[in-house]
Chains A and B, each alone.
Chain A
């Protein structure tokens, strides 16, 4: 790691500065959505469909309306009168806000009660009578695309089957030629199961629409407040200047808080119609059954390899389960997100991917759960395939990777699917991790253990992510280019306010973004207040997801700070009576080159900016930058997991987990490591326990934290972290983003470890989550 260039009291890049966010959070003074209370607030509860597929013949809400304390019952018909029964999704589909014709998944929004008290609102739900007529539920995408399957989206003009989208990329002919040259074709068919981000705080809204002024102040658990304001303006027809979205402290997002959900629309409409604030906060069950599912891809990958273990090409065929509406949150051009990063860390010339998405009677969502749009699925597939290819070719899985890595001198490297990787040194990363774990010794121990009937497995994953969407030439969401912004003002006393278009959900932006400014200007990080989340008081931006805050918002922050540094040098030249080009700025001191005793501080400059300027210069020390990144950034890492599998029960235990991450320059190493530990835990969770399942009737089984298992401290492995640091050459401070790396990279490492323990038995796949009964069945089948 490069040493920090600023002293600790300034706290620039490379310092593990303690977080500014903590002071309020450790004293219970955070300001989360449900903590906000406005006078005369009404409370909303949503009636949800108990059935996965049924026609609605009628809704009788008279008893609910009559209940003392109930102010209104909102149905789809009422929303329809205002043109709001349906809303557009982020993927160009439409989604029902409140069902008018039929319900298409269990948990779908059917009606909403607005009452003076949340308990009364919930009571009233039970008094609403809905006349449902059962329709056959379709619970898998395979059933969905069968001939004669019931049409789920019968309301959609031109829709004659259950196909949601098709998408392909890569060079089919070149890929076929590569496969024709192969000595072997290694095939893996696996399901990346439906999962849910389940941040500990659920989603919610407090909508306060003033019917006299038309001002709509909307407090909302939003990862993307500016984009949401624009979408609210487009959907509800409200003038954008009258919409203020305030995203307060957020109790974790992980993608769950990117889309606009029906509850937000209903609460806002209700506030507009009633003229009082309306609050809706999801219950945990509502969260798990109706908002923000992720993954659910059935993937078939084929790798063309030579007998020497050289990869020649990759072919992927996928089918995704979209649920009833296609509402993936992803850039417009990419129907399966950035899945085409599936070529991974390897140098081979040809790849082809085709993908179909199918409607089913399940909740929509398609969020990128701690992942830059389907990159988790892609990384998982290639790392599982490469590991299996090593077994088939008969070489060590680490050696298989080393033989195929993109080499350091090949960067910038264009992949077979068109990404241009910015920088990396993959062999050093993997070798460092192998050394740390003691790989060769482990392979010996594994062989000895096998001789005793014990099953030890060593799983490797070397992932490459594509994050920080993105360049305006390629990336937009709902037409909005994926730029981001920073606005910086230094006050006369030398203290600064930095305003961001991105929005933290726990990542520590109030600290790390101040450190970027501290690095450039030398103003202590603790003298810089960071504001974000309030659309009236921050510059426009697309928000925080896809690991884009540091690559895009962090870049904007560095650039705006440099603009102020340029002005500071001009002012210093005036104060020191020197030439501007002779002024040097380091750690907050501006001095004349060669005469270090002739100097002023950045605080002197700040005062001068309002009191004593060269003639003709505009007063103030303030600027704004909108940053359009020239490329994505490409963090990577080498993860190694050691497990022991109990052959009698299929239970597997993680013995070691070594994680090397290279995310370029680390702004705050403590926060980076915290992000990695959290991400590794979610990767472990997906490999071991987390999944949202449904029965044949479309009942969601993972509807609470007793059925949807997320790891506790007891199951979570201990992690050993390592780092290398190859900066991004195009990012202003060389940073790449890290928030999602570990979730993206680690599932394959955990699963590969279990497969590796059983590989000598011929086992090549167990679908996630790798539950003990599945492991036991795989052993049983193999022997």
Chain B
């Protein structure tokens, strides 16, 4: 079937099998491999992308369901102005080790900050509770998301 998905601002028209998963479409058809697969059952969140601004787990969304949608992947976080604050905060606060969960974590974090500019530790922990990390113990991920929120708030206050 014919679908058009806007991924990181570019339209991608393709003919896909109806059963094609969004994550496979992003990785194999479009060729953006920053979105990972960790479990196939919506449990781990490594495949998280933003669909029309909301985090979804792309391993249990059909590509067909994304027809006409705007999808943001990790490759779309950086803009002409540079890294997204969530990206630099993950480095500064050592919020990643192997880096496999990181794209999903950052997208959930970016989405949280856009809705809640000053999230508490519990807010962050709850927001990322659908995303598993096996390396960090989460402490630095929580810290990084809070750092990013503070930087976003600071720059919008300043402007």
Q: Which residues of A does B touch, CB under 8 Å?
A: 18-19, 21-23, 25-30, 32, 34-35, 119, 197-202, 249-252, 254, 283-285, 505-508, 670-671, 673-675, 677-682, 704-706, 710, 712-714, 716, 718-719
Determine the chain A residues whose CB is within 8 A of the CB of B151 once the complex forms: none
Query: Which applies to chain B's interface (DSSP): helix, strand, loop or mixed?
Result: loop
Determine the chain A residues whose CB is within 8 A of the CB of B94 once the complex forms: 18-19, 670-671, 673-674
Q: Which residue of B lies closest to A253 (CB)?
A: B98
**Is residue B7 within 8 Å, beta carbon to beta carbon, of the partner chain?**
no
Known: A119-B17, A252-B134, A719-B137. A32 touches B100 (CB 8 A): yes
Per a CB cutoff under 8 Å, which of A26, A507, A712 touches B90?
A26
Determine the chain A residues whose CB is within 8 A of the CB of B78 once the complex forms: 27
| Interchain CB contact under 8 A, A250 and B98 | yes
| Interchain CB contact under 8 A, A28 and B135 | no
Determine the chain B residues whose CB is within 8 A of the CB of A712 once the complex forms: 128-132, 138
CA distance A28 to B90 in the complex (A): 13
Known: A22-B96, A200-B44, A201-B98. A710 touches B138 (CB 8 A): no
Apart from the given pairs A22-B96, A26-B99, A200-B98, 5 other A-B contacts in the complex at a CB distance below 8 Å = A199-B98, A250-B98, A284-B41, A704-B43, A710-B134
Q: Which residue of B lies closest to A714 (CB)?
A: B129
User: 19 A-B residue contacts at CB 8 Å?
Assistant: A21-B99, A26-B74, A26-B99, A30-B100, A32-B36, A200-B38, A200-B132, A251-B36, A251-B98, A252-B135, A284-B38, A284-B43, A670-B94, A671-B94, A677-B139, A712-B131, A712-B132, A713-B126, A714-B129
Determine the chain B residues whose CB is within 8 A of the CB of A673 once the complex forms: 94
Determine the chain A residues whose CB is within 8 A of the CB of B33 once the complex forms: 28, 32, 34-35
Q: Which of B77-112 contact A (CB under 8 A)?
A: 77-78, 83, 87-88, 90-92, 94, 96-103, 106
Known: A252-B134, A254-B134, A705-B39. A25 touches B128 (CB 8 A): no
Determine the chain A residues whose CB is within 8 A of the CB of B90 once the complex forms: 22, 26
CA distance A740 to B140 in the complex (A): 18
Q: How many A-B residue pairs have CB under 8 A?
A: 166
User: Ordered nearest first, which 7 A-B pairs have the shortest CB separation?
Assistant: A28-B34, A506-B98, A251-B100, A25-B99, A705-B43, A677-B137, A28-B74
Q: Which residue of A lies closest to B90 (CB)?
A: A26
Min Cβ gap A586→B in Å is 29
Determine the chain B residues whose CB is within 8 A of the CB of A199 once the complex forms: 98, 100, 134
| Interchain CB contact under 8 A, A119 and B19 | yes
Determine the chain A residues whose CB is within 8 A of the CB of B99 once the complex forms: 21-22, 25-26, 30, 249, 251, 506
Determine the chain B residues whose CB is within 8 A of the CB of A251 once the complex forms: 36, 38, 98-100
Min Cβ gap B140→A in Å is 6
CA distance A84 to B98 in the complex (A): 33
CA distance A25 to B87 in the complex (A): 9
Known: A200-B134, A674-B136, A719-B139. A26 touches B96 (CB 8 A): yes
| Interchain CB contact under 8 A, B39 and A704 | yes
| Interchain CB contact under 8 A, B100 and A27 | no
| Interchain CB contact under 8 A, B102 and A26 | yes
CA distance A679 to B134 in the complex (A): 9
Q: Which residue of A lies closest to B75 (CB)?
A: A28
Q: Which residue of B lies closest to A505 (CB)?
A: B98
Determine the chain A residues whose CB is within 8 A of the CB of B146 once the complex forms: none
Per a CB cutoff under 8 Å, which of A22, A119, A284 touches B39?
A284
Determine the chain B residues whose CB is within 8 A of the CB of A119 once the complex forms: 17, 19-20
Min Cβ gap A714→B in Å is 4
Mask of B25-68 contacts with A, CB within 8 angstroms, 1/0: 00100001111111111011010000000000000000000000
Known: A201-B36, A678-B136, A714-B126. A18 touches B17 (CB 8 A): no
CA distance A414 to B81 in the complex (A): 60
| Interchain CB contact under 8 A, B125 and A507 | no
Q: Which of B112-159 contact A (CB under 8 A)?
A: 124-126, 128-142
Q: Which residue of B lies closest to A705 (CB)?
A: B43
Determine the chain A residues whose CB is within 8 A of the CB of B36 once the complex forms: 32, 34, 200-201, 251
Min Cβ gap B39→A in Å is 4
Known: A21-B99, A22-B90, A27-B75. A680 touches B137 (CB 8 A): yes
Min Cβ gap A268→B in Å is 23
Min Cβ gap A293→B in Å is 16
Known: A19-B91, A710-B132. A25 touches B44 (CB 8 A): no
| Interchain CB contact under 8 A, B97 and A200 | no
CA distance A198 to B46 in the complex (A): 13
| Interchain CB contact under 8 A, B41 and A705 | yes
| Interchain CB contact under 8 A, A713 and B134 | no
| Interchain CB contact under 8 A, B41 and A714 | no
Known: A674-B136, A712-B132. A252 touches B100 (CB 8 A): yes
CA distance A508 to B83 in the complex (A): 21
| Interchain CB contact under 8 A, B132 and A681 | no
Determine the chain A residues whose CB is within 8 A of the CB of B103 once the complex forms: 28
| Interchain CB contact under 8 A, B41 and A716 | no
| Interchain CB contact under 8 A, A713 and B129 | yes
CA distance A386 to B129 in the complex (A): 36
CA distance A231 to B20 in the complex (A): 38
Q: Which residue of A lies closest to B89 (CB)?
A: A26
| Interchain CB contact under 8 A, B87 and A26 | yes
| Interchain CB contact under 8 A, A706 and B41 | yes
